[in-house]
Chain A
Amino acid sequence: MRVYFSYLAHESSRFSPIPTSIASFSTVREGWPLQGCEGEPMDIDDLSDDFSLLRLSRARGHEVILGPMAVAAPSRPANRETYEYLRGEILAGLRHAMPVDAVLLFLHGAQLADGYDDCEGDLLAHVRALVGPQVPIGVELDLHCNLSDAMVANATALMPCKEYPHSDFAERAAELLDIVEGAASGRLAPFIVSRRVPVIGNFHTTREPMRSFVDSIKALERRDGVLSIGLTHGFGYSDTAEAGAAVLVVGTGDRARCSELAERLAQQWFAMREQIVPPSLSIEDGLQRARSLQGPIVIADTSDNPGGGAAGDSTHLLRAMLERGLDDAVLGMIWDPVAVTQAAKAGVGATLPLRLGGKTDLTSGEPLDLEVTVLAHSTNARQKIFGGSLALGAAVAVETRGIQIVLNTVRQQVVDPACFTQLGLDPWSRKYVVVKSAQHFYQHFAPRARHVLYIDAPGVVTNDYRRLRYRNLRRPIWPLDATPLTRFGVEWR
């Protein structure tokens, strides 16, 4: 079949200190050209998991017409012109490609812009209006999406990933393509039903009981008129009215049965809520705990995760480690272009006073004034991330009081130990391995760690949503409000 593929990903946090414009986006060289994107241009292999849908479509012999492909690191909602420009180009590409047998999109699902609280819903409505009711629209999503009625109403099939870390985009792409192929050929007439779940939270699928919940859901798919089940975890940092989790079922059989299934899973999910949030520790408790354990201990500095919109330059955890005299540690990565330049100019082997971190805003904490020794300097280090690779930008490794710290210039979370090893550091020779990441580090770090601890310092990606100052989020919702609560017309216990 002849399909149109486009890709747009920006996880938008209203708590992020990092603004967003068209300049914040990176494009894929092969795609429909976009103007003004200043991020490092990518090849499809640089984000291969995200592009599974594209590659699989080609592998299955479909004729793929490429639309715009653009991604920005998580940050504040983009300005209105940016989103409207991107939407306009996606629609222009589609118009250019038409007639098509299907539209395939990879979208984040939690994108906002000034004036748009649901970019994906808006975009899908425009795409539907353009292609008409008959052409299937299949959308692969990040599970940290805020599912909206507009998305459900305008897509033929929605396929969020199921794993956090998101290791399953390729499998989901195959399942989505199966459904879209069936719909395009007339073999299937899929519909989507969804049920909102009044929770916000970060739900790691690497731990029970979330692990078993995901597995049990997979066992219900592709039978009894259920094509696919998606659990959208929501993105609580977006601070939109409708932010939160949801269950969605793509079905072909009995609609009422699918609705009942969604309702049952939603209640089941809600009932598990206390057990599936991350075992977050305060700085005090976390470091005390870490001291008593044998290394290597991977400590996630979750609240300063650039992958959730944080600056990645907060000093709370590092300051606490220095104050308590914790050494034998590596820590990465602090986004600090000023300090990187100074350390690089001083050169490897130099010892210099450095004001480190705390550059972006109040949430970054106070900067640290340290005397550091420069261990390494690199301008071409990369890490493997989501199946592809991402340049760290100019980066240095410095050491102060037994703590080795990687500083870099392209804001990003730590997913791959290469963030350390590419700068000559061996994280596994140290007792403490501190990473600015909420959970994506887990895939490559956990296998080598004796323990994984999640420390929740003050920050914009805190695991404790009660600390955030919400302005728009509709209530009641757990954990901000007491349970049982009544929402979406039913009681939740």
Chain B
Amino acid sequence: MRMFCASMIHETNTFSPIQTDLQSFADVALYLPSTGQGRELVEQPFEGVNIGMLARSRGHSVIDGVMASAEPSAPLRRRDYEHLREEILDGLRAAQPVDAVVLFLHGAQVAHGYADCEGDLIERIRTLAGDAVPIAVEIDPHANVTERMTRNATILVSSQEYPHVDFEDRAVHLLELLERTVAGEIDPRIAFVRVPMFGSFYTTRQPMRDFVDSVLARQGRAGILSVSLIHGFAWADIPDAGAGVVVVANGNAQLAAQLAAQVADEFFALRRQIVVEQVGADLALERALAAPRGPAVIADTTDNPGGGAPGDSTFLLRGLLERKVTNAAVGMLWDPVAVELASIAGEGAQLPLRIGGKACPLSGQPLDVLATVVRLRDDAVQNAQGRMAPLGRAAALRVDGVEIVINSLRQQVFDPACFTAFGIEPRDKRVVVVKSHQHFFQTFGPFAGSVIYACPPGVVQRDFTALPYRHITRPVWPIDVPPFHVFGRTWT
């Protein structure tokens, strides 16, 4: 079939100090068909999945629209969002008539003037495409799904894993459902139920692991086409922030709604068991140093650039240096100024450097250290969910017993290459601190002696009661304590 595909990914943390414009996409991945800029992206792995490439491999005739991905950060400038949206709509107009529209979106994108970018975009596509053309959408589980999205999409599925290792599997699932829809075999009906809770739910741990498996097992049976647990993205101060359940049933909206409500109840009931204990910087370091075997991998979850943090906070690094820990590694601190100074000084040079603490108060105070420049590189890359992401100009420093990777393109640590590219072997370390919330787990988990999720003060802090919310829908757990009434029912 003839389909129009577009991708637009920006997880928007409305509390982030990191500003966002069109250049923020160009810094990561941006294909604009109107100018041809970034055209090569069409044939390359895209972070998560290149859904156009996948559709082509299934024999479809694909017209590629915009492909855009930016590192999570503050809301996008209004004119830049509108520019991306209009470019997507222009692409569709030029491609028409099409048999289907396929979108890969984040689901938690906010721009100035737009609290629900995806809802706005899908609605405009629906208006342009008309009611007869199916619109299939894949999103990230850290999405804040809105009624506007589910009303205008024909099929909506999200990744079910955190780390999101299943973007491609879910894209295949989505395309299969779309193919059957266009063939007239099925008639998808979407139901969406919100779940009033905030949290980070790791599918690598029990009981979340079993819950995800049980939910996925319901697909393809008794008229149920697809089920998606939506984890929500709590760092967006918008009315629709929070978890939810999306169910797609064949020809029966009632059936979809019933199952969505049932799964929502199950999800909410698990809440206390599926959130991770909050461990402060001191306790995290104590546990790491007490671990029987290394490496103890500490996730600096609250400074995760993949959640909109700057990635330059100093709390854990300061703790390592104060405790005089040796054989430790920390990566990656986003610090373009220190990278520049280290690059000028050259490999082998020792120099006083101020590192970290450059972006905002939650970055902590900068650290003034005497650093040795161990390695300089401007060509290192890491595998970021399939995309080979350049680290930018980067340096490995040694400060006392700690090796520190600093870089100039802000991003979370997905891949041990963030260390090994500089000759640092994380497997041999006693303690490894990664600026990542959970995506590191896929590659670090297999060799880690232990994994500790730390939450020092940070932009992606998990103490939701401390965030200055103004627009979210209350009550919501854990800010409010059940039983409470919201979304037309009582939650206990």
Interface set of A (CB-CB < 8 Å, partner B): 17-21, 23-24, 79, 336-338, 341-347, 350, 352-355, 358-362, 364, 366-367, 369
Contacts and interface: CB of A to CB of B under 8 A. Distances in A.
Interface of B: 17-21, 23-24, 77, 336-337, 340-341, 343-346, 349, 351-354, 357-361, 363, 365-366, 368
Given A19-B351, A337-B336, A361-B353, A355 B17 contact: yes
A346 to B, nearest CB: 4
Nearest to A18: B341
Contacts of A346: 19, 21, 77
Contacts of B363: 355
27 contacts: A17-B341, A19-B341, A19-B345, A19-B346, A79-B346, A337-B340, A338-B358, A342-B19, A345-B23, A345-B77, A346-B21, A346-B77, A350-B19, A353-B17, A354-B17, A355-B17, A355-B360, A355-B363, A358-B354, A358-B366, A359-B354, A360-B337, A360-B354, A361-B353, A366-B365, A367-B366, A369-B361
A186 B138 CA distance: 86
Contacts of A358: 354, 366
B345 A21 contact: yes
B354 A364 contact: yes
A359 B358 contact: yes
User: For chain A, what secondary structure do more than half of its interface residues adopt (helix, strand, loop), or is it mixed?
Assistant: mixed
A21 B345 CA distance: 6
Contacts of B20: 345
B140 to A, nearest CB: 23
Contacts of B77: 345-347
Contacts of A21: 344-346
A343 B17 CA distance: 10
Contacts of B345: 19, 21, 79
Contacts of A342: 17-19, 359
B180 to A, nearest CB: 43
A23 B393 CA distance: 14
A393 to B, nearest CB: 12
Contacts of B337: 336-338, 359-360
Contacts of A20: 344
B269 to A, nearest CB: 39
A398 B73 CA distance: 21
Contacts of A345: 19-21, 23-24, 77
Nearest to A78: B344
Contacts of B341: 17-19, 360
Q: Which 7 A-B pairs have the closest CB atoms?
A: A345-B19, A19-B345, A346-B19, A345-B21, A19-B344, A361-B354, A359-B337
Contacts of B365: 366
The CB with the most chain A CB atoms within 10 A, among B77, B340, B354, is that of B354
A347 B21 contact: yes
Contacts of B19: 341-343, 345-346, 350, 352
Contacts of B353: 361
Given A338-B337, A359-B366, 9 more contacts: A18-B344, A19-B349, A23-B344, A24-B344, A343-B19, A345-B19, A352-B17, A361-B352, A367-B366
B358 to A, nearest CB: 5
A155 B358 CA distance: 48
Contacts of B21: 344-347
A170 to B, nearest CB: 32
